Structure 1
Amino acid sequence: MARTPMALLSAADQERARGLRLMKGIALGALIALAVVFVIAFSLQGRFPWLAYVRAAAEGGMVGALADWFAVTALFRRPLGLPIPHTAIIPTRKNEIGRTLGEFVETNFLSGDVIRARLSATPIAARLGEWLRTPEHAERVASEAATIIANVLEALSDEDVQDVITDLAREHLIVPEWGPPLGGWLERLVATGAHHQAVDLAADSIGTWLESNRDAFAGLLSRRLPSWVPSMVHNLIDEAAYHEAVKFTAAVRADPEHRARLAIDTYLERLADNLQHDPETIGRFEDAKTTVFDSPRVRELAADAWTTAKNGLVTALHDEDSGLRRRGAAALAEIGDRLVTDETVQRRVDGWVTDAAVFLVERYRHDIASVITDTVERWDAAETSEKIELMVGRDLQYIRLNGTIVGSLAGLLIFTVAHAIFGA
C-alpha cells in the first residue's frame, strides 16, 4: 500500500506519523534484541544451564512480539503481502465499519433523551448571556451579523426583489376584494361612533383656518358678479359668505346632532352598505384600486423606495460607527444582561434551545449519522487505513511491546514450571 508523502500530510498528521515510526522502531528493536538474546542463550545453554531460562524468556517474547505484530498489521494490511484470510480488515471492510460507526453514533449519541438530558443540565442561556453582555463580544456579533446581512442585500437582484414585491402585492392586495371587508370595517366604525372624533377634528381645523384666512374670501363670490354691480355690493357678498362659513362651522362644532353631522353619518352608512352589497360600487372601487396599483408611477415609487432603503441599510451596516451598528451592539449586550439576571427568560430560552435541538436530532438523526457513513464510503480503502493507523497506530505499537514483555514472562514461567515438574 502506497504511503502518502509526508509533505502532503497536515502538521498534526506529520507529528502522528513521526510518533508512529518511533514506536514501530522501538517494537522492532525489542524483537531483534530478543532474537539476539535467544541465539546467544541457545548456543551457550549447554555450558551455562541457567541460560536455558533466558532462552525460554527470549523465545516466549519473540512469539508474543510476532503474534501481536501479526494482529496489529492485519488490521491495516496483509502481513508480508500474503493473502491470509481475515487480514487487511480495515481496507476490506471499510464500508461496513463506516455503517457500523454511523449506527453507533445514531443510537448512542443522536438520541432525543440523551440530548435533552445533556442540555437540561447545561445553563445555556446564562452562559450565552454572560458571554454576550461583554461589550467586545456584543460588538463582534453585531459586526458579523451586519456583514452577513449586508452581503445578502448586495447579492440580491433589485429586479428579482421588485418582481417578488409585485407578485406579493398582486396576490395579497390586488386580487382579494377590498370593498366588502372595507365596508364591514366602515359599518362597525359608524356603529360605534368612532368617526365622530374625525368629524370634530375636521370642523376644528376648518374653524381655525377660517379665523386665520379671512382674506381668502375676498373676491371668492363677487368676482362672478356682473361688472356693473357696485364694489360695495361685492364686499358685502364676500363678507356675508365668510360670516356664513364661520357661523356654519361653529354650529357644527357646537351641536353633536347638527344636520351636517347627521348627513355625514347617513352617507357613511350608505357607503358601508354599498361597499358590501352593491356590485356596481364594489366594481368601481376595485377598478380604482387596480388602476392605482398598476400605475407605472406607483411601480417607480416602489422601486425607488426599495433601492433607497437597500442602499441606506447597506451603508449603515458597513459603517462601524453608524447608529444602526451601535444600537445593535447595545441591544445584544442588553439581551445578554437579561439572560444572566432574569431566571424566567433563562428557563424559557433553555427550553426553546432544548426543544429545538431534540426536534432536529429526532427528525434528522439518520441524515446526520449518514454523514459518517457516506464520508467513509467515499474514502479510498488505502487512505482510510492510513488515516486510522495514524490516529491509533502509535497506541497499537504498545500492544506489540506489551506482547513482547508478556510473552517473555509467560515463556519463562512455563519453562520454569515444566522444569520444576519434569526436571532437566
Structure 2
Amino acid sequence: MAQTELLGPAGTAASSNSDVEKAAALRRMKNIALGLLLFMAVVFCFAFAFAPRYPWLAYVRAAAEGGMVGALADWFAVTALFKHPMGLKIPHTAIIPNRKDEIGASLAEFVESNFLSEAVVSQKLATTEIAQKAGAWLAKPESAHRVATEGAAVLRGAMAVLNDDDVQDVIESLVRKHVVDPPWGPPIGKLAERIFADGHHHALVDLLVDRSTTWIQANHETISGLVSQRSPGWVPQFVDGLVGDKIYTEFYKFARAVQNDPHHEVRRKLDEYLKELAQELQHDPAMIAKAESIKGQVLGDPEVRELAGSAWAAVKSALSQAVEDPDSELRRKFAAAVQDFGTKLVTDPELAAKANQWIANAAAYLVGTYKHEITSLITDTVERWDAAETSQKIELQVGKDLQFIRINGTVVGSLAGLAIFTIATLVFH
C-alpha cells in the first residue's frame, strides 16, 4: 500500500501503531486476493491447454473461468468504491471521493435520527445511574479534595479576571436597590413590633438597667459633685454635701427598684413607648420621614460607595487567602460538603432519582435544541477533507474486510462456473 494511504484527512502522517497494523493487514489481504486470482488464471491456462487430451479438465477450466470472472468482478466492485479502476473514469466508480459530501450528510442524518433523539438519550441515561456513579466518586476524600482544588483554581481565575471597579459598581447598585432606595421606617417598625410583642427586648433593657445601676453605685462623688456645681454660691458647702448625698441615695434606690422589679412602672412605660414607636415607624408619615432623614445621613453617596469598596476588598482578600491555602477553612468545608453530597447521592434513592431525572431532562433538552449543530460537525469536517485522502483513510479502516469480498467472489465464481458447466453438459449432451 502506498505511503499516502497512511495519511489522514488532515494530511498528517498517521503515526499510531493501530494505523500501521491496519495498513499491513490490508496489504496482506490484497496479496491473498490477487494471489487467488493469479492461481485461477494459471489453472485456467493449464486446463485450457490440456482439455483436448483430458476431457475431464473441461470441468476444471469452467471452475477456474468462473473463479476469474468472480474475482475480477468483485475486484472491480471493491476498487470502484475508492478509485477509478485502472485509472479509467468509468461512470459510478470512485464513489467515495466523488460523493464524500453526500456520504457525510447521510452519516450526519443517520447519527441525528438514531443517536441524537430525545427518546434515545433519555432512555439511555435512565438506565445509566449517572447520579449514583458520580456520588460514589464524589464520596471519596481524594475526589472531594480534587473538586475543591479545581474549584479553588476556577475561583482564583475568576477573581483575576474580574475588574474591581465593575464589582464595586454591582455591589453599590445592589445596596442601593435593596437597602438604600426602599424606605426603612415600615420594615424596621414591623420587625420592632414583632420583637417587642415577644418580649425579646427585655434582655437588652435588663442589661442597660444593670449597667446604669452599677455606674451609679460606682460614681457617688460624680453625682454629688453635680449638685455642688449647680447650687447657688450663697448655699453653704455642707448643705450641698447633704443634698448631694440625698439625691445620690434616692437616685440609687430608684435604679435598684427598677432593677429588681420586672414590672416596675418605668419598664411598663418604656414598653408602651417602644410599641408606639414601632407603630409610628409603620404608619406615621412624620416618623417615616425622620427615619428616611437618618438613613440619608448614614448612607449618602460617599458612604455607599465606600461601603461597596470595603465590602469587595474584604471579600476578595478573604477568598484569596482561602483559595491559596490548601488547609483553609473554606476549602475544607467545601470538600466536606462535596463529599457529603456524594454520599447522599449514593444513599438517598429519592435524591438520586431527582438528580438522574434532571440530568436526563437537561441532556434531552440539549440534544433536542442543538442536535443540528452537533451533527453539522460531521458534515463540516467531511467537507473540509481532501477527497483522495478521505478515500485512502476509509480504505485503511475497512479495506481488509472488503478484500474478503474478492476472495469469496473467487470461490463462489469457481463453484458457480463448475455448476453451470456441469448442468449444461448434462442437459445438452
Q: Same fold (TM over 0.5)?
A: yes
- Contact 1:65–1:401 (CA under 8 A) maintained in structure 2: yes
TM-score between both structures, scaled by the size of structure 2: 0.80
Give per-residue Cα distances to partners, 1:156-212, cap 9 Å, x unaligned.
23222222222222233333333333334444555xx12x33134223343145326
Whole-angstrom CA distance in 2 between matches of 1:47 and 1:100: 58
Match of residue 262 from structure 1: 269
Whole-angstrom CA distance in 2 between matches of 1:33 and 1:234: 141
Which stretch of structure 1 is more off in the superposition, 86-95 or 223-232? 223-232
Find 2:398's aligned residue among 386, 392, 410.
392
Taking only aligned residues, the RMSD between alpha carbons, in angstroms, comes to: 3.6
Give per-residue Cα distances to partners, 1:257-283, cap 9 Å, x unaligned.
6245334433542453344451x4434
- Contact 1:218–1:235 (CA under 8 A) maintained in structure 2: no
Matches of residues 7-86 of structure 1 in structure 2 within 5 Å? 8-11=13-16, 12-86=18-92
Give per-residue Cα distances to partners, 1:129-161, cap 9 Å, x unaligned.
333333333333333333333333333232222
**Structure 1 gaps, min length 5:** none
Find 1:368's aligned residue among 371, 378, 386.
371
Match of residue 309 from structure 1: 315
Give per-residue Cα distances to partners, 1:109-133, cap 9 Å, x unaligned.
3344433433333444443333333
Whole-angstrom CA distance in 1 between matches of 2:355 and 2:211: 57
Question: What percentage of aligned pairs have identical amino acids?
Answer: 42
Whole-angstrom CA distance in 2 between matches of 1:135 and 1:181: 46
Quote the offset at 1:217 in angstroms: 5.4
Distance 1:267 1:396, change over 3 A: same
Whole-angstrom CA distance in 2 between matches of 1:311 and 1:396: 66
- Contact 1:111–1:362 (CA under 8 A) maintained in structure 2: no
Q: Does 1:181 align with 2:187?
A: yes
Quote the offset at 1:319 in angstroms: 3.3
Moved over 6 A (4+): none
Find 1:296's aligned residue among 259, 282, 302.
302
Whole-angstrom CA distance in 2 between matches of 1:389 and 1:234: 118
**Structure 2 gaps, min length 5:** none
Which stretch of structure 1 is more off in the superposition, 239-248 or 101-110? 239-248
TM-score between both structures, scaled by the size of structure 1: 0.81
Which stretch of structure 1 is more off in the superposition, 3-12 or 139-148? 3-12
Give per-residue Cα distances to partners, 1:216-245, cap 9 Å, x unaligned.
453252474369462772585277247525
Match of residue 328 from structure 1: 334
- Contact 2:6–2:396 (CA under 8 A) maintained in structure 1: no
- Contact 1:68–1:399 (CA under 8 A) maintained in structure 2: yes
Quote the offset at 1:81 in angstroms: 4.0
The one-letter code matched in structure 1 to 2:311 is: A
The one-letter code matched in structure 2 to 1:170 is: R
Secondary structure of the equivalent of 2:81?
helix
Paired residue total? 416
Match of residue 101 from structure 1: 107
Whole-angstrom CA distance in 2 between matches of 1:384 and 1:313: 52
Give per-residue Cα distances to partners, 1:321-347, cap 9 Å, x unaligned.
33443443344334434443x3xx223
The one-letter code matched in structure 2 to 1:8 is: A
Find 1:202's aligned residue among 205, 208, 212.
205
Match of residue 149 from structure 2: 143
- Contact 1:57–1:408 (CA under 8 A) maintained in structure 2: yes
